A and B are shown apart, each in its own frame.
Chain A
């Protein structure tokens, strides 16, 4: 079975005046996968989404979405995409139902068909009881669910979620994750941006790690960790007298901590307790945040 490539980008750059928002990036998205773009604010994630959704245009490079040109076939491309933007840009004057109905018209969906879809979507996101409430009365989590429902009104092939869970509490976040996984099971292709490494690790088949308009590395989250730094991390809190050079593994000095990344936890721990008595540390699996710090010397979240 051959999977189709849905998006291909070659050497894409995007400049705003002299600022390089995207600097010569290459990427692709295959049918049915969840691809994450991970990076701090200002990394270029949202700019990239704008290029894919034809709401902004590249300075140079080649970008094909569904094999179509983003500058010539905007309407065709946009008809196949569902976008969950960073801001909950609803119409505040309308109810939940009206918001979805008004949006369905932009896709030229007939009223009868729209009614059916809205009912199904409200069931899918669990807002069937909020149908006639004003959107301004919804909680943060419900607003996000409604935006997801709205992005599905045109039954899109590709769903793009720009920071879908930023600012949500853990419970609401988990609910959104379940929805994203359901969408994948239904065969949808999904792109998401996030600065939560946990989110990317849990959901994504592949991730692109971005910083300052560049793609630093890409691949399967677990494979990236193994490839670059090792699966176990020892995080050391007090460390003045630790003779670290003797310990095998990758050592990162970041803020007031030291991180040792290794594939051989046992050996590293033995040496660590040998050379230092009063040491305070925790041992945990390496995550994408560690990888990001290792690759850029910066934190993902500000």
Chain B
């Protein structure tokens, strides 16, 4: 029973909190991609040879954008949503109004996605300004940022619907999120590994598609790149539906 606009007041609530806590919650974490750029791009990058004809500092650009996007959306629907649900009982307060639990969860995921898009966009503008991303690629980057934001916001919520204590987030984070950050073709090309490893990585970590797609964009935009870029969105839809179902089961007894 999802009314398509019922989640908007929940989204607005989160936006209002965000505006209040902009500096601590949002601006400071944006320094992280700059550290990545300095360390891997300008520091380590000088010692690494070109990868498939691409300088290393260009090679890691998609990873830096993805990192900012993912952490902003994923850590919102995990820790922030969990704290609101269990400690602040904000969800209990909202579901006593005409807003349904499905709409609460939707509002959370949509806000997590919005956050990811804002973070990714800000990093992207910075990289365009430095000349590391050509302006013509802005829109395709934005498409990938939006898809990643939605997918990982939904995935975070899925984990939140499963864990019972805040400590147990360590399971999905260290067994899934962290390996994904390193093994999705982010900092080194996995295409040099045997095919079956690439294949497995693509199945487990949808981020792999986004990396391949964004890198191929350096040469030219074609249908294959677009399809690979969109592919993680389907993961997102599955995570989205599952997380709503499991959250309802968890909160309405």
User: Could you tell me which residues of chain A, from 55 to 100, have a CB within 8 Å of some CB in chain B?
Assistant: 55-57, 74-75, 78-79, 81, 83, 85, 87, 89-94, 98
* CB of B90 closer than 8 Å to a CB of A: yes
B100 within 8 A of A: yes
Bound Cα distance A91, B10 (Å): 12
Bound state CA distance, A285 and B99, in angstroms? Answer: 47
Decide: A103 and B97 in contact? CB cutoff 8 A.
yes
A-contact 0/1 string along B88-125, CB 8 Å cutoff: 11101111111110000000000000000000000000
In the complex, what's the smallest C-beta–C-beta distance from A162 to chain B, in angstroms? 10
Q: Is there an interface contact between A91 and B13, defined as CB atoms closer than 8 Å?
A: yes
Contacts of B250 in A (CB 8 A): none
- A214 → B minimal CB distance (Å): 20
Q: Is A53's CB under 8 angstroms from B96's CB? A: yes
Bound-state CA distance A57–B100 (Å) is: 14
Cβ-closest chain A residue relative to B104:
A106
- Note all chain B residues with C-beta closer than 8 A to A257: none
Are A74 and B89 neighbours in the complex by a CB distance under 8 Å? no
Known: A78-B96, A89-B92, A107-B97. A56 touches B252 (CB 8 A): yes
If the complex has contacts A55-B252, A93-B20, A93-B21, are A87 and B98 also in contact, measured as CB distance less than 8 A?
Answer: no
Chain A 95-120 near chain B by CB (<8 Å), digits 1 or 0: 00010001101111000000000000
Chain A residue contacts of B98, Cβ below 8 A: 74-75, 78-79, 106-108
Cross-chain contact A87 with B89 (CB below 8 angstroms): yes
Closest-CB distance, A218 to chain B (whole angstroms): 25
In the assembled complex, B249 has its CB within 8 A of some CB on chain A? no
Tell me if B16 is interfacial: C-beta within 8 Å of chain A. Answer: yes
Report the separation of the CA atoms of residues A87 and B92 in the bound assembly, to the nearest whole angstrom. 10
| Contact, CB under 8 Å: B16 / A98 | yes
- A57 / chain B contacts, CB cutoff of 8 Å: 252
Closest to A93 in B: B17
- Alpha-carbon distance A83/B12, docked complex (angstroms): 22
Taking a contact as CB atoms under 8 Å apart, the answer to whether A85 and B93 are in contact is: yes
- Chain B interfacial residues counted at CB < 8 A: 24
How far is A87 from B93 in the complex, measured between Cα atoms in Å?
A: 9
Known A-B contacts A91-B90, A106-B94; the reply to A74 vs B17 at CB < 8 A is: no
Scan residues 25-48 of chain B and give those whose CB is less than 8 A from a CB of chain A.
Answer: none
- Interface positions of B from 1 to 23, Cβ below 8 Å from A: 1, 3, 9-10, 12-13, 16-17, 20-21
Residue of B at shortest CB range from A104?
B9
Q: At the interface, yes or no: B49 with Cβ under 8 Å from chain A?
A: no
B74 CB to nearest chain A CB (Å): 21
- When C-beta atoms are compared, the residue in chain A nearest to B6 turns out to be A75
Closest to A153 in B: B97
A81 and B95 alpha carbons, distance in the complex (Å) = 12
Within 131-155 of A, Cβ neighbours of B (below 8 Å) are at 154
User: Are the CB atoms of A55 and B16 closer together than 8 Å?
Assistant: no
- What would 22 A/B residue contacts be, using CB atoms closer than 8 Å? A16-B253, A56-B252, A74-B1, A74-B98, A75-B3, A79-B97, A81-B96, A85-B93, A87-B92, A89-B93, A90-B88, A90-B93, A91-B13, A92-B88, A94-B20, A98-B16, A103-B93, A105-B12, A106-B9, A106-B97, A106-B99, A154-B97
> Could you list which residues of chain A lie within 8 angstroms of chain B, going by C-beta atoms?
16, 53, 55-57, 74-75, 78-79, 81, 83, 85, 87, 89-94, 98, 102-103, 105-108, 154
* A-B CB proximity, top 9 nearest: A106-B97, A105-B9, A89-B89, A89-B93, A83-B96, A75-B98, A78-B98, A93-B17, A106-B99
